[in-house]
Chain A
Amino acid sequence: MKDVFGMIYTSDESDVRLRDLTRSRSIAAMPIGGRYRVIDVLLSNMVHSQITNVGLITQRNYHSLMDHLESGKAWDLNRKRDGLFILPPYVTRGNTGSYSGMLDAIRSNLGYVRRSAQRYALISGSSTVFNMKFDDMMKKHLETGADITILYNVPAENELKGDAERTHLKMDEEGRVVDIEVSPRLHSYPNVSMDVYIMDKALLTYLVEVSAAHYRTDFVRDVLLKQLSELKVYGYRYDGYVSRIESISSYYKLNMDMLNGEIRTPLLYRPNPVYTKVKDEVPARYEASAKAVNSLVADGCIIEGTVENSVLFRGVRVGKGAVVKDCILMQGVEVQDGAQLSNVIADKDAFIKRDRRIVGQESYPVVIEKNAVI
């Protein structure tokens, strides 16, 4: 995989679906699994595939992301040659500073693409969470002689509801994509793109330039859909766990899924550990009155009350007699004595005062915004 560079496009289009949770951050910066962020998984996938040149295209709300990524050291991407390049939007004569699609975003960063020494580009969206090495996908890309190879999976039927933007693919026996549906109300094909593409850098540059000349900005609609017959597009199927963060409930489900060891282990640490920025927190502390079951608890937490089926990020405090059930409590959330929460997603540093009761539903968890005091 030496001859591949990575490009991650952090889009804002689906950010609005996560309402308050993405007010001050992009989906790529969303905290997951008690200590990670979505981007950690993507970057680790690339690093485990020996991709050491990664460009990260950011748009609005990228402060949170830059703060997290720093020099890329945590992913071993602070290198003399290549490494992590954060590509924020900028305004020039040809640039408006905000992108109207992935093609537009890559066009703005063609300089980075051209300067990359590797022949192939691996382009990835940033709202799909999965843990895989791209080596086999690359191998297949070379074997089939494809122009573009798309990573896809076959989600369970019940995961296909909602109004999220999805690309459904139809493949022939050889795996060549013969039809594409974008966000169909009723889909005809079960295969859904995971927003990861491999293609030759020269082809990428060509497609981007031609599209720009025609005011086309969306990769799926303007390139894949319109030029499907001219391009050799192949699919590569992934069978592991995949989560698409496209709504509050899918974000909630991803975190709850991680309580299951069979999902958590391959997704977060074995065989390919997900790297993330290290904070020097103290180990979690359980007091004598603590009752915790089926939960993921990060360092720095202090638990005196009851915690069930929940994910607790760093430094969460659960007071005496407090009950936390089926919740996601992000970094620094404090639940005071006697408060009761169920099916709640509390954003960073939210503060729930004594004896308050907040009840959500599994299908519609209550979201408490950052720094809120209840």
Chain B
Amino acid sequence: MGKKCVAMLLAGGQGSRLGVLTKNMAKPAVPFGGKYRIIDFPLSNCSNSGIDVVGVLTQYQPLELNSYLGSGMPWDLDRLTGGVFVLPPYIKGKSGTWYKGTANAIYQNLAFIEQYDPEYVLILSGDHIYKMDYSAMIAMHEKKQADCTIAVYSVPWSEASRFGIMNTDEKGDIVEFEEKPAEPKSNNASMGIYVFNWKDLKQYLIEDEANPESSNDFGKNIIPRMLAEGKHMVAYSFEGYWKDVGTIESLWEANMDLLQSPPAFNLYDSSWRIYARNPILPPHYISETAQVTDSMVTEGCTVSGKVDHSILFSGATVEEGAVVENSVIMNGARIQKGARVRRAIVSENAVVGPDSVVGGNGRIAVVGQETVLGEYSVVKPGEQVDAEVLLKRMAKDQEEAK
């Protein structure tokens, strides 16, 4: 049963910065790029890197994620030994807690990793869009005989103080780690991707768990302690596209990046396909009255209106006379006659009623999952609406009418 490497994907975050988009689903399940979800990127990376055991650690709204992952077949991760597993926290005897931190989440799943007796454990986070060959990172880890390898990305200096920064020597060994430094000495930001030797990591996790002072976090506890103990920590520089999609604005931007020509992030690479669970829908239909430019449109869509510089996800509909610009229209959403949607994210199965106006110049407007906007509704730039907000709005209107 031995495996060289087991990947553990930290997908636990609630993603509260994504507002109404993550009300009913964990962040990794958020749709992206027309037919994908955020988790498809790390999962496809694993599959393409030859890693065939992936544990997905989640404790928030697991239903959507669970049903999406299923047997792992779409990512070629339905294997005889290994495959993809959703690992929620559970009760052991009388004890049992939620995942207290990233390190604790791995600690609680020691038994899962043990059954594969791996040499290495790859820790991944589930909130970035990128393509990365983890096998190259593991190869470097092996070559340098490192105790821990951390993937780093050169972020703009102006943003470096928002990240965990790795200061390295000329050989690429990490000499210092600073969490969100006010005055960064380097712009090598940690990508939250770590390779550990399993035997060492296991020991660290057990000791960390025993320390009541610890917040059981890789960035705050495990990595600093390994550094302090003089372990051989190596930075693996990643070049290419890497984008955090943890906020509404960045999620929107990352989608728009796909529309650049040539795209800032290339999905067309046939040697590194991004896999997804696809609904079986017919090719999209562009009607007589449609006008589609500078956009991505996928299966099951019906377009009769004007769509410019936007992404339409599976089964989205844009009716005649509707205008969609610079927007992200997610699975099954419907933009009805005469509606205008600009700089907005319209979430799954939402309906934008006839002649409504959503978004405009300014911050991104969001219409939540399954939200039905009636005729002539208005969602201002930067506003987020879902059924709950609409109810409050109605109540307020009634009050004012009185």
Contacts and interface: CB of A to CB of B under 8 A. Distances in A.
B298 A264 contact: no
> Majority SS of interface residues in chain B?
loop
A171 interface: no
Contact of A34 (B34, B73, B282, B290): B282
Interface in A32-78: 33-36, 73-74
Nearest to A35: B283
Contacts of A296: 282-286
A264 B311 CA distance: 23
Contact of B288 (A73, A280, A294, A312): A294
B299 interface: yes
Interface in A285-335: 285-299, 307, 311-313
B273 A280 contact: yes
Contacts of A36: 282
A286 B293 contact: yes
Contact of B286 (A269, A275, A282, A294): A294
A276 interface: yes
B294 A293 contact: no
Most central of A292, A311, A313 by chain B CB within 10 Å: A292
A261 B285 contact: yes
A284 interface: yes
A274 interface: yes
B292 A283 contact: no
Contact of B282 (A268, A284, A295): A268
Contacts of A311: 283
A269 B33 CA distance: 23
Contacts of A35: 282-283, 299
A91 interface: no
A283 B34 contact: yes
A275 B280 contact: yes
A186 interface: no
Given A280-B275, A280-B278, A284-B298, A297 B283 contact: yes
A315 to B, nearest CB: 9
Contacts of B292: 286, 290, 292
A89 interface: no
A155 interface: no
A156 interface: no
B286 A295 contact: yes
A190 interface: no
Contacts of B295: 285-286
A298 B299 contact: yes
B58 to A, nearest CB: 24
Given A286-B293, A286-B297, A288-B294, A33 B286 contact: no
Interface string A124-149: 00000000000000000000000000
A297 B301 CA distance: 10
Contact of B285 (A259, A282, A285, A290): A259
A261 B311 CA distance: 22
B37 interface: no
A261 B302 CA distance: 10
B274 interface: yes
A273 interface: yes
Interface string B54-77: 000000000000000000011000
A278 interface: yes
B16 interface: no
A290 B306 CA distance: 12
A283 B286 contact: no
Given A283-B35, A297-B297, A312 B281 contact: no
B261 interface: yes
A79 to B, nearest CB: 15
Most central of A285, A291, A311, A312 by chain B CB within 10 Å: A285
A269 B274 contact: no
A287 B293 contact: yes
B390 interface: no
B283 A292 contact: no
A259 B35 CA distance: 23
Given A283-B296, A284-B297, A286-B293, A33 B282 contact: yes
Most central of B275, B283, B284, B285 by chain A CB within 10 Å: B283
Contacts of A289: 293
B223 interface: no
B259 to A, nearest CB: 8
Given A287-B261, A290-B292, A292-B292, A299 B286 contact: no
B276 interface: yes
Contact of B284 (A278, A291, A297): A297
Contacts of B33: 283
Most central of A33, A261, A290, A312 by chain B CB within 10 Å: A290
B135 to A, nearest CB: 20
A48 B190 CA distance: 50
Contacts of B275: 280
A282 B268 contact: yes
A299 B313 CA distance: 11
A35 B284 CA distance: 10
B294 A264 contact: no
B264 interface: no
Given A280-B274, A282-B267, A299 B288 contact: no
Given A261-B285, A283-B297, A291-B291, 10 more contacts: A33-B282, A258-B282, A269-B300, A280-B275, A283-B296, A284-B298, A295-B286, A296-B285, A297-B283, A297-B285
16 contacts: A34-B283, A273-B281, A276-B280, A283-B296, A283-B298, A284-B297, A284-B298, A285-B296, A286-B296, A287-B261, A289-B293, A294-B288, A296-B283, A296-B285, A299-B283, A299-B299
Interface of A: 33-36, 73-74, 258-259, 261, 264, 268-269, 273-276, 278, 280, 282-299, 307, 311-313
For the complex of A and B, the 10 pairs showing the least CB-CB separation, nearest first, are A34-B283, A283-B34, A283-B298, A298-B283, A282-B267, A283-B296, A288-B294, A296-B283, A268-B282, A292-B286
